[in-house]
């Protein structure tokens, strides 16, 4: 989703689901990831939930705000930044 008020703003999100059934029981893992961009920073949120035989087993959420100035250190506004592919040989 792009914001019309902030040309650097965008949001990307996704989810994951895995269910494993073995002799010793069933394990279900759910994940959710959101990456949000704005002019000053990137915000990352990752949530992980693990259930074992239908009961909560593990829960954790990570959140991080990363200043964009670290992404383009030493690059002046208006400069073009490119990434070259490694040479195979």
Would you state the pLDDT for residue 9? 80
Chunked mean pLDDT (size 10), the chain, 89 residues = 62 96 97 91 94 97 84 52 50
Would you state the pLDDT for residue 2? 46
Token reading at 72 = 């383009």
Nearby residues of 30 by Cβ (< 8 Å), 6 or more positions away = 15, 16, 17, 48, 49
pTM > 0.75 = no
Would you state the pLDDT for residue 77? 54
Domain extent listing, the chain? 10-70
How long is the chain? 89
């Amino acid at each position: 989703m792009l914001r019309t008020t902030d040309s650097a703003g965008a949001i990307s999100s996704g989810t994951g689901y895995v269910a494993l059934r073995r002799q010793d029981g069933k394990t279900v893992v759910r994940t959710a990831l959101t990456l949000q961009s704005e002019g000053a920073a990137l915000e990352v949120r990752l949530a992980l939930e693990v259930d074992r035989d239908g009961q909560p087993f593990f829960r954790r959420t990570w959140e991080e705000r990363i200043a964009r100035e670290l992404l383009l250190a030493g690059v002046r506004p208006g400069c073009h930044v490119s990434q070259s592919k490694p040479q195979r040989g």
